[in-house]
Structure formats: structure tokens, C-alpha cells
Amino acid sequence: MIFDEISRNILRRFQWPRGGDCKYVGRPSVYRIARDLNVHPKVVRLRLKELFDSGLIRGVKFYTDDAFMPWKRYFVLINKTRGVQKIIYDHFKEFPFIERVIFGTLYVSDSSNFPDADTVEVEFSSIAIIAMNDTDLKEKMKAVEAIFGTEPNIIGVLDDSSKDPKLLNKIDLTIVNEILYQDPLTMSINDMAQKLNIPVHTLRRRIQKLLDDEVIYEEVSLDTNKAKGVLIASVIIKGDYHDWLPKILKSKFLSERLLLYKNFSIFSFFIFYAENFSAIDDLTTEVTKIEPGSLVTYRNGSYNNPYVTYPVPDTML
């Protein structure tokens, strides 16, 4: 697989909405990406096929900020990777409340050897669970724990409870609930309008408002273990990416290698490519200058559950 600047720029276009450019008509497509990069659509189509066929891109999916929804998204953190993603992946159909599983390897200091601490590798996994409340989460976790045979070593549960709830009205909730099941690469606003019995111009206007309010967004799921010759690392920083992105872009080294970024509960994820492991060391040095408490991960992956369902009470639709 070719992973040159063209392929990297194609991947960057799936950061949507990006900054102030959040027009619905500007969402990623083969022809829009080709126009932006000044290349032929055939080139974009070929590179996208390579990115998918290599396994680097696992999928593209719409998500929503759960502060606007009647349910909550919980991230259950487990301090191991080997086996966890496969166990969850193999049981996706049985657990429609699991949205995705995320995994990776952290570089952390060995505090047991302080002050001469060495950097050691620590594996982690995170299972994103959709639940109505804390009680509902506990019931769902019992089902998940059963497939492990033994209770998994859970190191924490994160959610977005710090946000002020901003529940959507019935019409917007119906629209968002439908968008969550759409494929971003093939979504048709005309087909959706017909299915929801909403005029096209009304639906387009409401979707634009949802984008303006940062209710919906799309993400690319990656598996950096799959693509040969591609080295990608993630940086985890506590806080919203809106606060950290300007500081990262000030660094030429970091801005040239930045691919994607997103919020993960109370943390920000910044995804970079690296030419080699030496570049990861340099990346670690650069981000530490910005935030000493940042964590660098590699061998990252994220698997979406194609069977996920989002509960919405009948009274709200």
C-alpha cells in the first residue's frame, strides 16, 4: 500500500466537520476530496480502496455527542489488549449495546524504578457501551464479563457526565437517530427525507443546524497493526481538543504529521503518522513540551460494531 502525502491527505479529509468548515455539502466524498487535492477522482478512489483493503481503515461512521441524547456513552477501560478486541469482536452481534472497542499500547514510566524510571509498554482496551444510566450499565457489564470467563481487570469507567445535558427535540432526535445508522460514504439526504417523511430542504436545514451545534460528526476507525510499512501513533491529553489543537499546530514537526483528532470522554486524541520509531521518540519529546502529562500510544485500533443499536424511548420519537 502507498501511504504518501496524497494518501495521508485523503485520510485527513475524513476529519469532518473540521474547524469552521462544517457545511453539510462539504462532507467528504471521492469528488470533493479530488477537487480539494487537485487530483483525478480515480486516484482518490484507488487510494481509498488501498486504505480499506490494507485494513488500515476499518470503517467510517457517524457519531453523536451523547449530551444531546437520552442515553449515555460509557468507556470501560481494561488494562490489557491481547484477546480483548477479538473476544468483543467475535460477540458483537450478541451485544448491540457495544458501540466499538478501542485498543492500543501506552508508553509510560516504570514508577517502581523511580527516579531512574525506564519507559515501559502497557496495553489497554476500551469498550464503548451505550446505556440509559449507571444502573443499566451495570446490567450490561454483567453480560460482557460473562464472555471473558473471569472478571476482566477494569481500571476505570469514563463517561461524559460533566457536560450539561442538552436533549434534542423530537424531530431532531429522530433525524440524529437515523443518521447514526447511515454509511457516511453512501448517505443520501433525498432517501432519508423520504424515509422520515420530511421535506428535503427542511431536513438539509436541520442537519446543518446539528452540525453547527456540534451534535453529529464522523470518524474513521483505524487498525494500525494491519497496514505494512505504516507507523501511526496517538497522543492522549486530558481536556478538549479545541484547547490543545492550536498549540499542536504551532509545532512544525507535529503539524506536518497530524492526521486526525477527536475527543474521547474527558481526553483528546491526536493521531500522527511517523516515518520510524525514532520519529515516535521525537514526537513524544514535542508533545511533552506542550503537555508533560500527555501519553503516547501506538499499535492502536478501533473496531466498530455493525450491529449497534441506540435506544430511544417511544415517547421521545
The whole model's pTM is what? 0.85
**Selection from 284, 235, 288 nearest residue 264 by Cα:** 235
For every one of its 317 residues, what pLDDT tens digit does the chain have, with 9 covering 90 and above? 788 999 999 999 888 876 555 777 778 889 989 999 999 999 999 999 999 999 999 889 999 999 899 999 999 888 765 677 778 888 899 999 999 998 888 765 554 443 444 556 777 888 999 999 999 999 998 888 888 766 667 777 888 655 566 889 999 999 999 999 999 888 899 999 999 999 999 999 999 999 888 899 888 999 888 777 788 889 999 998 889 999 999 999 999 999 999 888 788 999 999 888 888 889 989 999 999 988 888 778 888 999 999 998 776 65
Strand partners for 128: 75, 100
Q: Which H helix or E strand runs over 299? A: strand 295-304
Domains of the chain in start order, with CATH, are 58-66+167-303 (no CATH), 70-165 (3.30.70)
Cell of 37: 487535492
How many helices (DSSP H) and strands (DSSP E) are in the chain?
Answer: 11, 10
